[in-house]
Structure 1
Amino acid sequence: MALYMLQAKYTPEAIRNIAESGSNREDVARAVVEQCGGKLIGFYGMLGQDYHIAIIVEYDDLPSYLGTVLTTVLGGAIADFKTIALYSSDDVVKASAVYQANKAAYSPPSS
């Protein structure tokens, strides 16, 4: 399973609509993520950042995550976004084992 953080910036119109309607966007995000095959881990607002929200999601595969991004971004309420791939400390332990097993196979360029 892969974890991703999607940071998104709403359009001014979307912010106005959220403020006026009082809708819970976490519920909407959860429904879209689950429909696209993922799991919503967290939904957070951010102050003092270039983006308004950070959504942490888990997916079995990258195409399902990308489908979720397309579904939400092309909906028109998102002005800008970025994806950050996340990893756990267990991933670092596993990466270290790969490194230990393969480090002799690489030699840096020399003069």
Structure 2
Amino acid sequence: MPFYLFQGRYTSDAIKAMITKPQDREVAARSMIEAMGGKLHHMFFCFGHDDVVALIEAPDDETAAGCTMIVGASGAMSGGATTKLLTSAQAQAAMKKAGAGVAKYTPATG
């Protein structure tokens, strides 16, 4: 199954709710992802631009997008992004394909 990196920012209301009533958001995320046929490998709260990052495995892009839509529709996030990840083997296969097609590409010139 493909891997995806989710990065998200909670709304101020969601952060206030977690301060008022501390809760394990990983349990909620895992339940939803598993119900959609995926697997939550890791979820971390973090400093910086994002509040949370998660490594997710899903059967396909549509499932990953559906998970993202559920989280987005909840109103708990003020923004985020989902990035499809490639294994090293997949990246090497892409490199081989690029090597086979590179001779057919003409870069833009000024």
Instruction: Please indicate the TM-score interval, normalised by the length of the shorter structure.
Output: 0.7 to 0.9
Deviation at 1:27, TM superposition (A): 0.7
How many residues were matched structurally? 109
1:84 and 1:107 map into 2 onto residues whose CA distance is: 26
1:11 aligns with 2:7: no
Counterpart position of 1:64: 63
1:1-111 to 2 correspondence within 5 Å? Answer: 1-47=1-47, 49-104=48-103, 106-108=104-106
Deviation at 1:110, TM superposition (A): 8.9
2:107 and 2:18 map into 1 onto residues whose CA distance is: 56
Residue pair 2:68, 2:82 contacting (<8 A) in 1 also: no
1:107 and 1:66 map into 2 onto residues whose CA distance is: 31
Deviation at 1:91, TM superposition (A): 1.3
Taking structure 2 as the reference length, what is the TM-score of the superposition? 0.87
Shift >6 Å, 4+ stretches: none
User: For structure 1, which runs of at least 5 residues remain unmatched after alignment?
Assistant: none
| CA offsets 1:10-46 (integer angstroms, 9 cap, x no match) | 1111111112211100111000111111110110111
- Paired letter, 1:90: A
- Paired letter, 1:20: T
